[in-house]
Amino acid sequence: MPTWDHKSPAALRKQRDALVLTQLRDAVAPFSPFWRERFQALGLKPSTISQKDFARLPAVGERDVCPDGDPASAARLVLQATEVGYALHVEGPALRRALVKRLTSSTGYRAQVEADSRPTSYAWTGHAVRFPVASTRSDLDVIARAGARLWKVIGLTPADIVLDATALEPTPQRTALDLAAIAGGTPTFRTGTGSADVLAAARLVRITALVTTPTAVADLLRELAAGGADLSALSTLVLLGAPSADDRRAAVQALGVAGASSEAVVVAVYAPSGARVLWGECRESARAGRPTGFHTYPDLDLLEVVDPDTADPVSGAAGGELVLTQLGLRGSALVRWRTGDLVDSGVDATPCPSCGRVVPRVPSGVRSGALVRPYLPRGGRAGHVDLRSVSAALAGRGDLRDWRVVLRKGRRDGADELLVHIVPAGEADPAEVSVGVARDVRLAAGLLPSQVVVSEQSELPAPAEDGLGKRIVDRR
């Protein structure tokens, strides 16, 4: 029987379509308050949802869930099952367990429903809005199984000894890493990022694998080598997060200077904001020095690429914003979730040329959080501007013929500025359009533009080649 990573493309499509319908009909539509409202607005009932209906659902992000920046609004994403609804939608084995409990105890059925559907774990995530993502007990089992797959993809075994020097923060990535090590049966020393603790652990055990971040790896390896840590057995360097080409080169150079094994490889693991499982680059591609992308899980992830300006799907191998639907997980319902991450090309569904796995692969050059930019306005607090929200406020206006969004540094004091250049449509009053644009941007993105500039079509700033979208330019 084919394993999860070697099914035929036809079998994968059939499995994916069935899982999407199950997720929508039996979890998201009946139990998520946020999504229930959207299904009702589209006139859809859980029992009649089809594959075509999935494509009608709006792609949403942090600002759609928490429009005023209040993380409490994220509770509306969480599935909230009732005892009656549970019986209608739960899978057969779980329902039988609950009914048996009901026969033996007056409160047993309710306790079983809560155990199977109530979140038991929360972690912080988000780019522009920091909000909690919830997981149930069964979700943690799924995350652990995904972690066992991740370990196989990156080539770690129970014979390895792992030193995890990433931050000990309550994030989905932290949970996924911890459960992957447990599921993979790999002894793991979790030190956090403190230099003294990391060095002490590296002196105590002869590590074969080191987990760190792309920005910290070079300095960390130098500190370990200078501190006398024996890294001669280090054969796997795991980078948590999507590294740039420069980060990857620096990691390889630092391995050589630190005295790591001559067989050492650099592999990256990555998850978009909100995602609860980690994807990894295969060890075979790392050994060849040609990363072939982050290997995903066809039974847990549905991936799309959309235009950053409009959220419309793009075709073929075109790049854009990565959109994620998580399957088989309860807790927080991420459906057509706009990650804020940009890819220069589409998700590759062909067999991996290095390891042969037949799974969708996200390009290794993915730019995490590229559509949510740091922003320090004049006289304000440091924060972020969600360019997707700004685009959404402009793209739907019938009184605009065209527009551009420009981020720049102020000439006077170097403060960040957000300029919106607009070309009013037809006979629209430029002054009224400008006021409406400023109002809508504030409502959608939580900030006022520094300036709304009325322009002729020929005067609009040329789009940059940074992949932020056809109408967004960051000049900082």
Write the DSSP symbol of residue 351: P
The residue extents of the domains of the chain are 9-117, 373-474
Helices (H), 213-359: 217-226, 245-258, 283-288
pLDDT band at 91 (very low <50, low <70, confident <90, very high): low
CA 241, CA 225: separation in Å to the nearest integer?
23
pTM: 0.90
CA 134, CA 74: separation in Å to the nearest integer?
9
Q: Is 88 in a helix, a strand, or coil? A: helix
Q: Is 236 in a helix, a strand, or coil? A: strand
* Closest-CA residue to 368 (of 473, 278, 471, 288): 278
Radius of gyration of the chain (CA): 24
Structure tokens given for 375:
């922003």
In whole angstroms, how far apart are CA 280 and each of 225, 233, 339, 360? 27, 22, 17, 12
CA 461, CA 35: separation in Å to the nearest integer?
38
Mean pLDDT of 401-408: 94
**Residue 296, CB-side half-sphere exposure with 13 Å CA sphere:** 27
CA 240, CA 290: separation in Å to the nearest integer?
18
pLDDT for 395 equals 87
CATH number for region 373-474:
3.30.300.30
In whole angstroms, how far apart are CA 179 and each of 144, 176, 182, 187, 448? 5, 5, 5, 12, 42
List pLDDT tens digits, range 152-164. Answer: 999 999 999 999 9
List pLDDT tens digits, range 14-66. Answer: 999 999 999 998 889 988 999 999 999 999 988 889 989 999 999 999 989 99
CA 268, CA 280: separation in Å to the nearest integer?
6
